[in-house]
A = this chain, B = another copy of it.
């Protein structure tokens, strides 16, 4: 039975940027699982395995349809325990912390900066959908969100500074090898990397070095990804 992974893509179908899809994809890569990928856009929900849910990533394993990136991570770990995504209950507890921390500390400053830039890489129909849904969600147009970018510089840098000690003392948040915490924290940064070569904050040297390592692990799946900034 072949695993099927449904991933979000930009105007160019090989431009895969969603941080949530990246988290699931990195977990699949970590486990070395073979799977078929289907690339879909925001406005192709009728072709999603769960059109009512209407979000990606989705993993289909036989008759099991798993939505939500964290549910996919947990499903993979429970179903395919080889090459574990963490090596102890303490590492899983830390991963739960990093999930909340990434959502509370890294995403909020990134989002205003990213919205206009994500819009720019989508195809025309997706652009209309994205602008409409995001401007409703944030109560502001994408351009005015972008103007707020610099107000997040300090909090983004404070967040990344918290990573300097662990990533200075260890190769990964997983210690000697990457674990699920690395993928959690890396996903929003890979989102940015795939969408734009621009940035608005300074990244501490130990975090830059860790990013380089993250691009190489699992046969370089993250490093080989198409990046809009390189096109």
Question: Which residues of A come within 8 Å of B, CB atoms?
Answer: 86-94, 96-97, 99-101, 104, 158, 161-170, 172-177, 179, 181
Contacts and interface: CB of A to CB of B under 8 A. Distances in A.
Given A88-B88, A90-B174, A96-B166, 11 more contacts: A87-B87, A87-B88, A89-B170, A90-B175, A91-B91, A94-B94, A94-B166, A97-B163, A97-B173, A100-B161, A100-B166
A93 B169 CA distance: 7
Question: Main SS of chain A's interface residues?
Answer: helix
Contacts of A93: 166-167, 169-170, 172-175
User: Which 5 interchain pairs have the tightest Cβ spacing?
Assistant: A89-B175, A94-B94, A96-B166, A93-B170, A90-B175
A2 to B, nearest CB: 31
Instruction: State how many copies of this chain the complex holds.
Output: 2
21 contacts: A87-B88, A87-B90, A88-B90, A88-B175, A89-B174, A89-B176, A90-B91, A90-B173, A90-B179, A91-B91, A91-B94, A92-B169, A93-B169, A93-B170, A93-B172, A94-B166, A94-B181, A96-B166, A96-B170, A97-B162, A97-B163
Nearest to A95: B166
Nearest to A86: B90
B165 A99 contact: yes
Of A90, A96, A99, A174, chain B has the most CB atoms within 10 Å of the CB of A90
Contact of A173 (B94, B165, B172): B94
A80 B96 CA distance: 30
Of A99, A100, A166, chain B has the most CB atoms within 10 Å of the CB of A166
A55 to B, nearest CB: 20
A92 B164 contact: no
Nearest to A167: B93
A94 to B, nearest CB: 4
A88 B174 CA distance: 9
A165 B165 CA distance: 23
A156 to B, nearest CB: 14
A124 to B, nearest CB: 39
Of A86, A89, A100, A164, chain B has the most CB atoms within 10 Å of the CB of A89
